[in-house]
Amino acid sequence: MCGFGWSRQHGAFSARSWGTNLEARARASRFEVMPHDVMTGHTADDQAETVLINLLRGAGLAGLAGMQRNQRHPILALRRTQTHQLCRELKIEVVEDPTNTDPKFQRNRIRHELIPLMDVIAQRDVAAILDRQADLFREDSMLLDDLAKKIDVTDAKLLAVAPVALARRAIRQWLTEIYPPDAATVERVLEVARGTTLACEIGSNREVRRSQQRLQIFTK
C-alpha cells in the first residue's frame, strides 16, 4: 500500500475505533480508500478460507459462494504458492503483513491450523475442494436469485405460498435496497406475509406492514 501513497499510520489510527471485528472492519476500510478499479491479490487459498469463515458464521449459499471471480479478483484461480513462485521468477519482492501470523485473528487460525488439519484428515487438498465448492454454490445462488426476482414480494398471499427458500431470498433482496437484513428479520417479514402478525420491525426505524394482502415499508 505504501507504494500507492497510503501510510501504515492511517490504518493504525483508524483501528482504535474498530471494535471487536477488526478483520472485517479493516477490510472494509481498505476498500473505502482504494480506487474502485484496484485489483486484489486474493487467491484460491483465500477463497477456501473465506468459505470456511462464512460457514462458521452460519452463512447461506451466497456466503458459501465466497468471492466472485471478476476483474477485481483477477488471480482468484491461482494458488498462493503459484503467486509466490511467479514473484520469485519475476524478481518481485513479496511483502508479508506481519499480522498474517497473529493467532488472535480467526482467518489466521483457519489458514495455519484448521486447513492443514483438514488436509491430514481428508488426505486431500482441502483448499482446492473448497474453491471448487464455492463455484458450485455461486451457480446455485445465482439461479435462486433469478427465481426470487420473479416473485412480487409485496404480494403477501403469493409470498406466503412461495417455496420458503425463494420467499426468503425475495424478502432479502427487497430489504437489501434499504439495509441488508439478518435472518431473524427475514423470518419476521415472512410471518407478516403469512398473516401471523400484521407488522414487524426491520431496523433503521422502519417496519413492514400488511394491508389488503400487500406488504409495505413504513418509516416509524
Three-state DSSP class for 36? coil
Please give the model's pTM, rounded to 2 decimal places.
0.73
For position 119, what pLDDT does the model report? 98
Task: Work out the end-to-end distance of the chain between its first and last CA atoms, rounded to an integer number of angstroms.
Answer: 44
For position 6, what pLDDT does the model report? 46
Closest CA to 154 of 220, 219, 212: 212
**Alpha-carbon span 189 to 135, nearest angstrom:** 30
For position 33, what pLDDT does the model report? 67
CA quadruple 212, 150, 220, 184: dihedral positive or negative?
positive
Of residues 17 and 172, more confidence is placed in: 172
Domain 39-142: CATH superfamily, name plus number? tRNA (Ile)-lysidine synthase (1.10.10.1360)
- Mean local confidence (pLDDT), 139-166: 97
For the cut 50, the answer to whether the pLDDT of residue 17 exceeds it is: no
Predicted confidence (pLDDT) per residue in 39-92, tens digit? 888 999 999 999 999 999 888 898 999 999 888 899 999 999 999 999 999 999
Three-state DSSP class for 207? strand
Half-sphere exposure of 77 (CA within 13 A, CB side): 5
For position 16, what pLDDT does the model report? 45
Lowest mean pLDDT of 14-28, 101-115, 166-180, 183-197, name the range. 14-28
Give the model's confidence band at 96: pLDDT under 50 very low, under 70 low, under 90 confident, else very high: confident
**Alpha-carbon span 58 to 78, nearest angstrom:** 27
The domains of the chain are located at 1-37, 39-142, 151-219
Q: Which amino acid is at 81?
A: T
